[in-house]
Amino acid sequence: MNWGTAIIGIFALALCALPFILDRFSRSRKEKQLLGMLQGAAHQHDCKVDIHGTCGRIALGLDEGKKALFCYAQRADRDIAEYVDLTQMRSCRTVKVGRSGHGQHSDASIEQLALCFAPKDTNAKEKRFELYYAGTGTYLTDELEFADKWTKLINERL
């Protein structure tokens, strides 16, 4: 009787844990795929990825030797690979575009989040890596912390 209860308990525990285990494997596989695409984009510019990070469907990578930053983003309609030469940039900042609510329960919402690079040449245009856009139908999760972390990391190297 006790063995039967133990077996049923172990089976129930395994059944409850299975979705979490499968989710972790799925995320790990997607992250490896993103990093592979990011490394491919870096290879096109004769660079390598020394430091990298992923958040959702976005991967950022940094070649410390050549001071180059790469962004690879998977969008619903297309994939985007972007590159910025950090030797040509003066600073990096996190840009949050949003709207504030009105009324009794007013909440501010972020509609767009990007890394913005200010060039050393004042006549050159700013470069942006879009990390989040509300129009894509996804929810803002860890992108804000991810953007702040990378802004700090990039500014330390400029």
Which tens digit of pLDDT belongs to each residue from 28-49?
A: 888 888 888 889 989 999 999 9
Number of domains present in the structure of the chain: 1
Cα–Cα distance between 10 and 66 in angstroms, integer?
A: 53
**Per-residue confidence (pLDDT) for residue 49, from 0 to 100:** 92
pLDDT > 80? residue 84: yes
**Per-residue confidence (pLDDT) for residue 24, from 0 to 100:** 86
pLDDT > 80? residue 86: yes
* 3-class state of residue 148 by DSSP: helix
Provide DSSP, 11-77: HHHHHHHHHHHHHHHHHHHHHHHHHHHHHHHHHHTT---SEEEEETTEEEEEETTTTEEEEEEE-SS
Contact at 8 Å (CB) between 98 and 108? yes
Residue 98 Ramachandran class (φ > 0 left, ψ -120 to 50 alpha, else beta) = beta
Cα–Cα distance between 130 and 147 in angstroms, integer?
A: 10
**Per-residue confidence (pLDDT) for residue 106, from 0 to 100:** 45
Question: Beta 51-55 vs 58-63: how paired, if at all?
Answer: antiparallel
Query: pLDDT tens for residues 41-83?
Result: 899 999 999 999 998 888 999 999 999 999 998 887 788 899 9
Closest CA to 110 of 146, 149, 59: 146
Question: Beta 108-119 vs 127-133: how paired, if at all?
Answer: antiparallel
Per the structure block, which two tokens stand in for 92?
A: 């990096």
Per the structure, the complete domain to which residue 50 belongs is given by 2-157
Contact at 8 Å (CB) between 41 and 70? yes
Query: pLDDT tens for residues 103-158?
Result: 555 456 778 888 999 999 888 899 998 888 776 666 777 888 989 999 999 999 88
Degrees to nearest 5, angle at CA 78 with 81 and 92 = 35
**Per-residue confidence (pLDDT) for residue 104, from 0 to 100:** 53
